[in-house]
């Protein structure tokens, strides 16, 4: 007990240092989390600003429906921000003034997030979100104020434990184990970045799920599939409007979708595509109309084509499509190798203006939706677009009409790491070309910050006077 009491005199100086240090870390982390949660999947749209009036904005802001779960989530989301701000401000301000600063900061950030949602697909700003966010910040500040005595005792106990039980050897072991875990996850993810679990008994389906549950409304005229990733020169050639795709020695299977009752693979590698229900008339622009009554599938499994893709763990898929509905959900299936809603190898679909890709791998499961990949702004109009999607083990690339316009999502450890966290794994986890950068920052923060903190603690145990 004497040792415990002797540690008490270090409380004030150490408490201020630790509180502000961790408050700054908390402020940075909570701000990043708020931006990620509020603006994900970062599907930016550009509305006609001239057509928006103040009354329209206020009507949207005041009348958006919000569930009870959303309200509680908003409070919890901003609670760490208020807690951290209170720690940074410390005792420099009177309590009322400090609370006003925290309220203003949380409200300003929340208002910025809510207004930004005018430019984000599938997001709606709400006055209730703004109120609950601000309340969450104030609640966090209040918790820190009322936990002063408790936190002091915890810090005193922490000093005692650190000086008498946490040795440099133990910290070194923990740091090595932590780094080893990250290395193990990195190797595991990269080793399972393949299609070894693809099922060769699935058909190829165009415009729906094979069970008829996810129809897509649009038009399509070409479907070209290769069992490998195209080279740069082949990509340039494929996207050249003057190039004849049939003459490219690239495609494993390709279908020209014109009038007819069945559409053979011109390479003879895969089964014919046939109408599920009835044969519609060709659209005036020579594109095949697809809807809930008229969609295509192979009557036999596309075994050879799936086997070729599975063996290489690469693919390229090119199609010319246009949408008839910009608000399709599901996602509405455009092209899919799948058995039903819950078992697939690959699905390419439309979710509002986004192109959604679900890819089956050992780490994404048989549904291929945890995570799924979203490319924004693909279906922002009803004009035909030539889309080329390639995968080369580590990168998923989507080209839209030309080599100059493309998106890239890297399937690397720093992006896929958060798919394995329990809090993320219970829900559909979506990766976009933009939010992958936030995931990278968060991963490297965990990878380098925590080992750095352990290193600092090791140094402090060897040179205790450097802190106090």
258 shares a domain with 146: no
- Residue 83 within any structural domain of the chain: yes
224 shares a domain with 115: no
154 shares a domain with 74: yes
310 shares a domain with 404: yes
245 shares a domain with 332: yes
- Residue 423 within any structural domain of the chain: no
**96 Cβ partners below 8 Å, 6+ apart?**
none
231 shares a domain with 90: no
Using pLDDT thresholds of 50, 70 and 90, give the confidence band for residue 445: confident
Q: Which of 395, 410, 425 is the last residue of a domain?
A: 410
> Which pLDDT value is given to residue 336?
94
Identity of the highest mean pLDDT range in 59-63, 86-90, 123-127, 405-409:
405-409
> Which pLDDT value is given to residue 363?
81
* Tally of domains in the chain: 2
> Which pLDDT value is given to residue 65?
52
136 shares a domain with 210: no
- Residue 241 within any structural domain of the chain: yes
Q: Which of 410, 432, 455 is the last residue of a domain?
A: 410
**Mean pLDDT score of the chain, rounded to an integer?**
77
- Residue 279 within any structural domain of the chain: yes
> Which pLDDT value is given to residue 35?
76
Give the pLDDT confidence of 286-326 residue by residue, as tens digits.
788 888 888 999 989 999 999 999 999 999 999 999 999 88
Identity of the highest mean pLDDT range in 88-92, 279-283, 333-337, 461-465:
333-337
| CA-CA-CA-CA torsion sign (408, 396, 290, 259) | positive
- Residue 186 within any structural domain of the chain: no
Between 435-444 and 11-39, two packed helices, what is the crossing angle to 10 degrees?
160
Answer with the residue of higher pLDDT: 2 or 269.
Answer: 269
**170 Cβ partners below 8 Å, 6+ apart?**
none
> Which pLDDT value is given to residue 400?
92
- Residue 297 within any structural domain of the chain: yes
Q: Which of 376, 410, 444 is the last residue of a domain?
A: 410
- Residue 453 within any structural domain of the chain: no
353 shares a domain with 227: yes
Q: What angle do CA 260, 264, 269 make, to 5 degrees?
A: 170
| CA-CA-CA-CA torsion sign (223, 431, 307, 311) | positive
pLDDT surpassing 50 at residue 467: no
Domain limits for position 66:
2-159
210 shares a domain with 130: no
> Which pLDDT value is given to residue 15?
59
Residue length, the chain? 468
- Residue 172 within any structural domain of the chain: no
Candidate from 42-56, 320-334, 341-355, 390-404 with smallest mean pLDDT: 42-56
Give the pLDDT confidence of 34-64 residue by residue, as tens digits.
776 676 555 455 454 555 556 666 666 565 5
């Amino acid at each position: 007990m004497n040792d415990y009491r002797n540690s008490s005199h270090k409380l004030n100086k150490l408490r201020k240092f630790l509180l502000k240090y961790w408050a700054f870390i908390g402020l940075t982390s909570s701000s990043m989390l708020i931006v990620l949660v509020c603006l994900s999947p970062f599907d930016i749209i550009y509305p006609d600003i001239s057509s928006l009036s103040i009354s329209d904005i206020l009507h949207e802001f005041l009348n958006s429906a919000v569930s009870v779960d959303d309200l509680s989530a908003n409070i919890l989301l901003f609670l760490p921000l208020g807690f951290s701000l209170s720690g940074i401000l410390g005792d420099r301000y009177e309590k009322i003034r400090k609370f006003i600063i925290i309220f203003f900061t949380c409200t300003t950030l929340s208002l910025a997030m809510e207004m930004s949602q005018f430019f984000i697909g599938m997001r709606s700003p709400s006055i209730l979100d703004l109120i609950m966010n601000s309340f969450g910040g104030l609640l966090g500040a209040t918790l820190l104020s009322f936990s002063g005595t408790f936190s002091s005792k915890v810090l005193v106990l922490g000093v005692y434990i650190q000086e008498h039980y946490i040795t440099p050897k133990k910290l070194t072991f923990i740091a090595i184990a932590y780094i080893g875990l990250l290395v193990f996850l990195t190797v595991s993810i990269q080793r399972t970045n393949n299609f070894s679990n693809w099922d060769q008994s699935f058909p190829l389906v165009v415009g729906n799920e094979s069970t008829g549950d996810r129809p897509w409304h649009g038009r399509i005229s070409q479907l070209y599939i290769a069992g490998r990733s195209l080279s740069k020169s082949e990509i340039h050639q494929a996207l050249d409007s003057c190039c004849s795709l049939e003459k490219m020695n690239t495609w494993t299977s390709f279908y020209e979708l014109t009038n007819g009752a069945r559409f053979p693979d011109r390479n003879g590698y895969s089964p014919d595509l046939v109408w599920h229900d009835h044969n519609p008339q060709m659209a005036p622009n020579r594109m095949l109309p697809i809807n809930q009554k008229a969609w295509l599938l192979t009557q036999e499994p596309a075994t050879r084509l799936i086997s070729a893709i599975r063996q290489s763990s690469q693919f390229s898929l090119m199609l010319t499509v246009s949408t008839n509905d910009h608000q399709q959900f599901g996602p509405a299936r455009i092209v899919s190798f799948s058995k039903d809603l819950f078992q697939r190898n690959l699905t390419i679909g439309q979710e509002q203006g986004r192109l959604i890709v679900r890819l089956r791998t050992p780490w994404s499961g048989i549904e291929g939706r945890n995570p799924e990949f979203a490319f924004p702004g693909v279906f922002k109009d009803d004009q035909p677009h030539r889309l080329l999607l390639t995968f080369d083990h580590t990168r998923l690339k989507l080209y839209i009409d030309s080599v100059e316009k493309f998106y890239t999502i890297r399937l690397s450890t720093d992006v896929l790491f958060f798919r394995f966290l329990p809090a993320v794994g219970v829900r559909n986890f979506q990766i976009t070309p933009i939010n992958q950068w936030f995931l990278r920052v968060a991963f490297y923060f965990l990878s380098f910050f925590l080992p750095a903190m352990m290193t600092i603690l090791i140094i402090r145990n060897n040179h205790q006077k450097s802190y106090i």
